[in-house]
A and B are shown apart, each in its own frame.
Chain A
Amino acid sequence: AQRVTQPEKLLSVFKGAPVELKCNYSYSGSPELFWYVQYSRQRLQLLLRHISRESIKGFTADLNKGETSFHLKKPFAQEEDSAMYYCALREPGGGFKTIFGAGTRLFVKA
């Protein structure tokens, strides 16, 4: 069965430190991978997706098919990055449902 694993529930770093939020997935085909972010008292919103290979708010994520990973990275964390981050997998075709990981709360300390 398809699955998304985020091993860390909480990640706490100091401002300016590098950040890596881990995500591993299991899926037999070619899924689409995403990172969603939820800031305090705001709705879930898309941060980035693997297809676009872009950097959003300084974050990047590379799909590693060999390791079935899609880790989210930022070289210098900012206080405003503090939020809940969800790695997600979307199955192509059908209803295009999204399967979420359990989420990692990132806390950036001043």
Chain B
Amino acid sequence: EPEVTQTPSHQVTQMGQEVILRCVPISNHLYFYWYRQILGQKVEFLVSFYNNEISEKSEIFDDQFSVERPDGSNFTLKIRSTKLEDSAMYFCASMQEQSSYEQYFGPGTRLTVT
């Protein structure tokens, strides 16, 4: 069964550094998402992406964040200048189509900002 994959599984970076988290959604899916979960807190929506553009973003997704689908298979989340509070588990998800009910989640990337 196809799965969403994410790399790396764990990323450690220093405060102020740029980081790129990578995701490969399921191949025939059209909607893509990033969520994050700070340790001990709930899973929070960051951004949704459809037809090569952001369709919705949360208040968390400020100018330090950006997303890209550079080559038709990868879906990346970039944080330009990481802060300590960006430390979290970041989940990518994809959904096949508008009428589909299931978002398929990746295993997550644990980002640690020191």
Majority SS of interface residues in chain B? strand
Chain A binding surface, main DSSP class? loop
Q: How far is the CB of A55 from chain B (nearest CB, A)?
A: 16
Docked complex Cα distance between A96 and B32 (Å): 10
Known contacts A49-B101, A97-B48, A98-B103, A43 near B43 by CB under 8 Å? no
Our count of residue pairs bridging A and B at CB distance below 8 angstroms stands at: 59
Asked if A110 lies at the interface with its beta carbon under 8 angstroms from chain B, I say no
- Give the total of B residues in contact with A, Cβ under 8 Å: 28
Q: Are A44 and B101 in contact (CB under 8 A)?
A: no
Q: Mark B79-98, 1 if CB is under 8 A from A, else 0.
A: 00000000000010101001
Given known pairs A94-B56, A95-B50, A96-B48, the reply for A101 and B42 (CB within 8 Å) is: yes
- Which residues 43-59 of A have a CB within 8 angstroms of B? 43-46, 49, 51-52
Is B66 at the interface (CB under 8 A from chain A)? no
Q: Out of B41, B101, B108, name the residue touching A102 (CB < 8 Å).
A: B41
For the complex, give the distance between the alpha carbons of A66 and B77 in Å: 39
Q: List 10 interface pairs A-B (beta carbons < 8 Å), by A numbering.
A: A34-B101, A42-B107, A43-B106, A86-B42, A95-B55, A96-B31, A96-B95, A96-B98, A98-B33, A102-B42
- Give A residues with C-beta under 8 Å from B: 32, 34, 42-46, 49, 51-52, 86, 94-103
